[in-house]
A and B are shown apart, each in its own frame.
Chain A
Amino acid sequence: MDLFLQLAANGLVTGTFYALSALGLTLVFGLMRVVNFAHGELYMVGGLIGWALTAVLGWNYFLALVTVIAALGIGGYVIDQVLIARVRGQGEEPTILLTIGLSIFLANTALLIVGTTPVTVASPFASKPLFLGPVVITQARLVLVAICALLIVGANLLIRKTKLGRAMRATFQDTMAAQLVGIRTAHIYGFTFALGATLAGAAGMLLGSIYTVEASMGGVISLKAFVIVILGGMGSFAGAIVGGLILGLSEALWGGYVATGYVDAIGFALVIVTLLVRPYGLFSVRAERA
């Protein structure tokens, strides 16, 4: 029983982290229909900037987090306006090729500047064990789960409640109608991609404080994020959270009771089953689109 509780706790914590790291992808995927293969690289960039600010320059953790969010927001906006805007409306393939190209560019630029050495973001939270009954966890992880929840709720509120969020949803439901009512859709595309990049970068920096960050890690991150997005339903916030938790829990339980060696196969097995049974994911948002 103690083993089960510990495994379940591990799974829920990693599941939350998975959800956070997939949020930016599901947003861009669901709203913009842009399959962003550079998602993992944006995560990596966020992590590396976070490392540079906290560990090299000695900045405060939260100040660095805000800076990462701002930097990735501006960067994401520029990427959309300068690159993605040029292939907008030409179908999905050109965007896919473009983001694959972008991912290679970002990874190799990072390799040139930072090199291949893995690094960690300096965190003010203790990584000493905390014993909650039979379950062991660290303060750093608990705080991260809380920050993850805040970010997820915050991003959701932004999309549901604010004027910008309404303009976003309007633009992606019907671009023409949105333009007719006076929404500057070109900017909305930019803001949406910026929000996606921000979430990816924030995830990179937050998780970089308990794991390691390195220039060539983007591929693995993207892969897991795609699993979660397909599992939960493209573009669905609830889907990303539930998808992340399911993946985290099933990996932990499979690893704990069967074998850890092939744990990555779990995610892909789940994806195959989802595509066969519910091809639009657990939380489909098809109805939202005109």
Chain B
Amino acid sequence: MNLLKSLPVGLLATTLAVAAHAEDTVKIGLIQPLTGSVAYNGTTDVDGVKLALGEVNAKGGVLGKKVEVITEDGQCKPANTVNAAEKLIQRDKVVAIIGAFCSSATAAIMPVAQSNKIPLVTGVSSAANLTEKGNPWFFRATETDALLAKSFAKILVNQLKLKKVAYIGVNDDFGRGSVDEFEKQMSALGAKTVMKEYFEHGTTDYYTLLTKLKASGADGAFVSAETQDGSTLVKQKAELGLTTKVFGVGSWATADFMKLAGNAANGIYAAVPYASTMDSPKNQAFVKAYEAAYKVAPGKYSAAGYNSLHILVDAIARAKSTEADKIRQALHQTNYEGPNGHFQFDDKGQATGFTVVLVQLENGTPKVVAKNTVEK
């Protein structure tokens, strides 16, 4: 009985000890989907963050303290992501948050960040309207669907000689957003839309969709999907003997995508903000470190996580403080060189100056076909 009675006191003491210890670190919150349909993609982002965290702490951290990243699972769902953000802010007292993955989830925590005055950096959410909401605490260190479409629509239409295009997207704001943007850009260049269809996250059988694609007579198909959905789709496309050219957005230029899709991945074009075959020295060092840590080449989301943490820590260092407003101001002065180019933020918090590439998948490697710098 005595033991039971003393348990709460003991727990309290432990909590206090943890709290006292925690004073010595700079805490950054990280919200990614670690379970659910995009868990795989969320985890690669966390891996990128961890790699960057190791580099930062090996150099002595920031402001003389070690950096601590507290990871929460947002499941790509707005409600869970808000809970995670509240927990990170109220209980863990983080100085800034990186996240979330899905645009809808990120949109849900933007007001939370604003009302609590916490800087929020996303390296993933690409729905164009996020940076148009006028939220001064929000920063996007990646491309938007509109930027990708603008960069590559012309090259795609000309290089693949597309006349009739089918658009296939995952049924959420990432899929619908990118389908709309690409359709707008490619129609303007004279490519006719012959099909526009969506599918749910985690769909396993694409035969119906592909049968329709075959019947539509399209000579090119635009697909916006993540690794597991996209790889299954292109694999089944080969099973049906379809020769329609495929180009896509999403995490396509990754080692796992090519492993899952096998030979069916050959010849596919992907417009991505990062490919492990980009030739900058900074990227070669990143790929080497990432492969040493995880035994697989980094993908789009690994780079996103890696950049997000470096950008944030860099801002805290320049702010010389963990005060939210000073970090926010320092983020606006960002001048960071990442594996995929140079990052700075405009007034709306949208990153510019970095490189996006069009790659063609060939025997397990993404070959860079064209690249473009995202201008203001």
Whether A264 sits at the interface, judged by CB under 8 Å, is yes
- Interface positions of B from 238 to 259, Cβ below 8 Å from A: 238-241, 256
Are A7 and B211 neighbours in the complex by a CB distance under 8 Å?
Answer: yes
Knowing A116-B39, A117-B256, the reply to whether A14 touches B34 (Cβ < 8 A) is: no
Distance in angstroms between the alpha carbons of A216 and B231 in the assembled complex: 17
5 A-B pairs closest in CB distance: A261-B198, A129-B241, A255-B208, A10-B207, A211-B204
Contact check: which of B34, B208, B232 meets A211 at CB < 8 Å?
B232
Distance in angstroms between the alpha carbons of A262 and B232 in the assembled complex: 19
Whether A128 sits at the interface, judged by CB under 8 Å, is yes
Are A216 and B36 neighbours in the complex by a CB distance under 8 Å?
Answer: yes
Residue of A217, A255, A259 with highest tally of chain B CB at under 10 A: A255
Residue of B35, B40, B200, B239 with highest tally of chain A CB at under 10 A: B239
Are B241 and A212 neighbours in the complex by a CB distance under 8 Å?
Answer: no
Contact check: which of B43, B171, B204, B231 meets A116 at CB < 8 Å?
B43
Whether A179 sits at the interface, judged by CB under 8 Å, is no
Whether A158 sits at the interface, judged by CB under 8 Å, is no
Knowing A117-B40, A117-B256, A256-B208, the reply to whether A212 touches B199 (Cβ < 8 A) is: no
Output the least CB separation between B233 and chain A (Å).
11
Contact check: which of A6, A120, A260 meets B198 at CB < 8 Å?
A260
Are A107 and B215 neighbours in the complex by a CB distance under 8 Å?
Answer: no
Output the least CB separation between A128 and chain B (Å).
7
The residue of chain B having its C-beta at the shortest distance from the C-beta of A5 within the complex is B211
Are A129 and B204 neighbours in the complex by a CB distance under 8 Å?
Answer: no
- Measured between beta carbons, the chain A residues less than 8 angstroms from B199 are 260-261, 263
- Interface positions of A from 9 to 64, Cβ below 8 Å from B: 10-11, 13-14, 17
The residue of chain B having its C-beta at the shortest distance from the C-beta of A207 within the complex is B204
Contact check: which of B208, B215, B227, B260 meets A251 at CB < 8 Å?
B208
- Measured between beta carbons, the chain A residues less than 8 angstroms from B256 are 117-118
Are B200 and A111 neighbours in the complex by a CB distance under 8 Å?
Answer: no
Output the least CB separation between A205 and chain B (Å).
14
Contact check: which of B35, B198, B238, B239 meets A107 at CB < 8 Å?
B35
Whether A109 sits at the interface, judged by CB under 8 Å, is no
- Interface positions of B from 324 to 361, Cβ below 8 Å from A: none
Whether B117 sits at the interface, judged by CB under 8 Å, is no
Knowing A214-B40, A255-B208, the reply to whether A128 touches B239 (Cβ < 8 A) is: yes
Distance in angstroms between the alpha carbons of A62 and B232 in the assembled complex: 23
- Measured between beta carbons, the chain B residues less than 8 angstroms from A264 are 200
Distance in angstroms between the alpha carbons of A14 and B39 in the assembled complex: 25
Q: Mark B296-323, 1 if CB is under 8 A from A, else 0.
A: 0000000000000000000000000000
Whether B365 sits at the interface, judged by CB under 8 Å, is no
Q: Mark A210-221, 1 if CB is under 8 A from B, else 0.
A: 011011110010
- Measured between beta carbons, the chain B residues less than 8 angstroms from A262 are 171
- Interface positions of A from 129 to 178, Cβ below 8 Å from B: 129, 131, 136, 138
Are B241 and A136 neighbours in the complex by a CB distance under 8 Å?
Answer: yes
Knowing A118-B227, A118-B260, A129-B241, the reply to whether A212 touches B39 (Cβ < 8 A) is: no
Are A260 and B212 neighbours in the complex by a CB distance under 8 Å?
Answer: yes
Are A259 and B197 neighbours in the complex by a CB distance under 8 Å?
Answer: yes
- Measured between beta carbons, the chain B residues less than 8 angstroms from A220 are 37, 202
Whether A231 sits at the interface, judged by CB under 8 Å, is no
Knowing A118-B228, A129-B240, A136-B240, the reply to whether A261 touches B197 (Cβ < 8 A) is: yes
The residue of chain A having its C-beta at the shortest distance from the C-beta of B175 within the complex is A261
Whether A3 sits at the interface, judged by CB under 8 Å, is yes
Are B228 and A260 neighbours in the complex by a CB distance under 8 Å?
Answer: no
- Interface positions of A from 247 to 262, Cβ below 8 Å from B: 251-252, 255-256, 259-262
Output the least CB separation between A51 and chain B (Å).
12
- Interface positions of B from 200 to 227, Cβ below 8 Å from A: 200, 202, 204-205, 207-209, 211-212, 214-215, 227
